Structure 1
Amino acid sequence: MTELAPLPSSLEAVLAAHGRLVDWSKARPLAIEAAADAMAPATKAAIVADLKCYLRWCMLQRPIATAVPATPETLVLYLRWLSRSTDTRAAAKPATLARRLASIARVHRILGYGDTEALPTQAGMVRDTLKGIRRKVGTRQRQAAPLRYGQAMSSADIEPEGLTIESLLAACGDDLVGLRDAALCSMAYDAGLRVSELVAAKVEDLRLLADRSGRLEIRRSKTDQEGEGSVVWLSAETMRRLSLWLSASAIADGAVFRRINILTLKGADDGETILRHHVGSNGLTRQGVVSILRSRATKAIADGHAAIEPGQDPVAALSAHSFRVGLTQDLFAAGEDGAGIALALRWSSPTTALGYARELAAGSNAAARVIGRVRS
């Protein structure tokens, strides 16, 4: 029997669609297939998006620029275009530019370039261009708005204002949707889950302990692409909320958090509106999690559970990463060190964890503690 060739990956499909911009002479099919298999889904999606942006730009050049292999001059012009672009898909933040450049370098290597010669992305003029853009616009990235629990974590801490986990939970009702959303917010905060970890959570990964707390097994994460797995702690309150949600939804296995379709029916006699909830079989998407978060935040403000100053729009600043940032800040406010926080939340380094607590650190560093006693 003839062995069928594997279907092309999204990366191959994008490259093939722009064949005249790409020199395939050094490419080896097995190398492309192996590279696609080795990438995490999020990494592959980012590289494909970056490649599309780069190829679109190359197509607009006159004469048309060769995308792979690129010349350093082509990359310099591309970076300059990105830094001035008003296209939201081509954001001009230095971190975004660096990522797009790294994606171009990765594609070059996949297609066989860089083994015996320097990559164009490593050229001095390309590095200097990126450095110049960083100097002009700064390198600090916008951070997701934190969702702290809602209480002071130590005597030196100040009770958080605005949107908090407590305010979101207060905005969740006792209906099926409310039970799901409360369980989701509670678990995402307790474990400082990345959105990929949250949507991948399965009933089989949960375990209830004798003290009513729980454990969640994370089979794979951003910093664990080999799938060694890790186990995280969940509070008794979170386990209670998970139990209410799973019992009401009759979910016994598979994805913990799922989409709920609501059907509106009219009664035959008195015209009364009847709501029917249908729980899907597939897990929520990343977009679904963000939609739930912002919906509950909007309701929390409307119901008076969160006081917001006029003119502010805190909902727009929220992302699925807000749970993780909020927990990091709460642990820091409680006096935990960066190494312990990084271990608990599976950060790649204490530096990363402390970066999310920069504002809190200003009020609890050595100067604040010592001089604060003298000048209070």
Structure 2
Amino acid sequence: MQAAVDDSVSALVALQHAPAGALVPVDGDAATHDRVQAAFEAMAPNTRRAYGSALRTWGQWAAAQQVSGLCPSPAALRRYLLERASEGAGVSSLTVFVSALRKLQALAVVEPTARDQLVVDTMSGLARQAAAPRQVSALTVGALAAIYETACFPRVGRGGVLEGAETALRRGLVDIALCWVMSDAGLRRSEAAALTWDDIARWDNGSGRLTVRRSKTDAGPRTVYLTPIAMAHLEAIRPQDADGSESVFGLSVASISRRVKAAARTAGLGAGYSGHSGRVGMARRMARAGAPTHEIMAQGRWKSAGMVADYTRNENAERAAKWLG
């Protein structure tokens, strides 16, 4: 006995979109009809909508691939899951799809291919990959140079309006200074948001010293180094009559993350950039220059060498080239 569904997208979606209490046509005896009806009455509206969306996407893929939408082979399901994951679908979304197809197969009384061990193992592998720690993309010198070249281009704002040239210039100069200072000083986004002009001192050689007064790990203030180029970018945004207690960037913690992401995206750097990218970038820049771990720890205010080792694992591995040729 089989529910009145076929391999078409419309049939798959309609079955899951059926409202609670509505008649869901099925072939077979009254017992089959009652089972299907009871299943849909017990299903929450949000669940029906989520299942319908997942099955719609699946049905389109199945039709394009000319595979059964209702009873596909486990190998076809694995291909679909891997393809969706490569396109950015999360494990939670894929889990909803698998659950929806399992429900559909159970109601239609067909071979439960969605419960095959190959499908189970594929989902387990995707979940393990998703759980693996992913390192934040780093604001290295190359990334900073790309941001410098593109930051002042007019962008479409959150309200959908394109910036004027002057607005884009002001915003872009702040973005450039923000990214350089965060990368030089290894600032957390909260530390960057709390930074005031009194916290920055210029030295005769053009470099600077930045005092971190609010820190996640330090009870007292810590002073770190700023390169001459970072100081030059700060001078470009400093008002002539700036009050020492005035915020340097004038941004909230959340805004800093958005600005770093947007600057990286405009520069064509791809995904993975965040308010933490400066800390990773500082560690990598110093490691590539040959700085010892304790010096990187001092600039980043780390109390443990573990984080430095994690952030600079690729740079540390490259050191073997000196000996391996």
Match of 2:31 in 1: none
Identity %: 29
AA aligned to 1:202 is T
For residue 296 of structure 1, the aligned residue among 260, 263, 268 is: 263
Partner-residue secondary structure (3-state), 2:239: helix
Deviations 1:203-222 (A, max 9, x none): 11111111121111111211
Q: Per-residue deviation at 1:137?
A: 4.2
Asked if structure 2 preserves the Cα contact closer than 8 Å seen for 1:143 and 1:356, the reply is: yes
Distance 2:284 2:228 in 1: 21
2:316 is the counterpart of 1:361? yes
Unaligned runs of 5+ in 1: 1-84, 88-132, 151-163, 259-283, 307-313
Distance 2:282 2:210 in 1: 17
Asked if structure 2 preserves the Cα contact closer than 8 Å seen for 1:207 and 1:216, the reply is: yes
Output aligned runs, 1:332-347, within 5 Å: 332-347=287-302
Distance 2:242 2:259 in 1: 19
Asked if structure 1 preserves the Cα contact closer than 8 Å seen for 2:184 and 2:282, the reply is: yes
Deviations 1:124-165 (A, max 9, x none): xxxxxxxxx9xx948852211112112xxxxxxxxxxxxx01
Distance 1:183 1:189 in 2: 10
Q: Per-residue deviation at 1:348?
A: 2.0
Return the TM-score normalized by structure 1.
Answer: 0.46
2:151 is the counterpart of 1:172? yes
- Structure with bigger strand share is 1
Distance 2:197 2:256 in 1: 18
Distance 2:301 2:208 in 1: 18
Match of 1:145 in 2: 137
Q: Per-residue deviation at 1:359?
A: 2.0
Deviations 1:28-57 (A, max 9, x none): xxxxxxxxxxxxxxxxxxxxxxxxxxxxxx
Asked if structure 2 preserves the Cα contact closer than 8 Å seen for 1:246 and 1:252, the reply is: no
Match of 1:195 in 2: 189
Q: Per-residue deviation at 1:354?
A: 1.1
For residue 229 of structure 1, the aligned residue among 214, 218, 221 is: 221
AA aligned to 1:235 is T
Asked if structure 2 preserves the Cα contact closer than 8 Å seen for 1:206 and 1:215, the reply is: yes
- Higher-Rg structure is 2
Distance 1:199 1:239 in 2: 17
AA aligned to 1:172 is A
Match of 2:243 in 1: 252
- Structure with bigger helix share is 2
Asked if structure 2 preserves the Cα contact closer than 8 Å seen for 1:339 and 1:349, the reply is: no
Q: Per-residue deviation at 1:363?
A: 2.2
How large is the RMSD of aligned CA atoms in angstroms?
2.5
AA aligned to 1:192 is G
Match of 1:287 in 2: 254
Distance 1:209 1:361 in 2: 32
AA aligned to 1:149 is V
Q: Per-residue deviation at 1:172?
A: 2.4
Partner-residue secondary structure (3-state), 1:142: coil
Unaligned runs of 5+ in 2: 1-90, 94-123, 153-165
Asked if structure 1 preserves the Cα contact closer than 8 Å seen for 2:139 and 2:179, the reply is: no
Partner-residue secondary structure (3-state), 1:217: strand
Give the count of matched residue pairs: 187
Distance 2:229 2:201 in 1: 14
Distance 1:340 1:203 in 2: 25
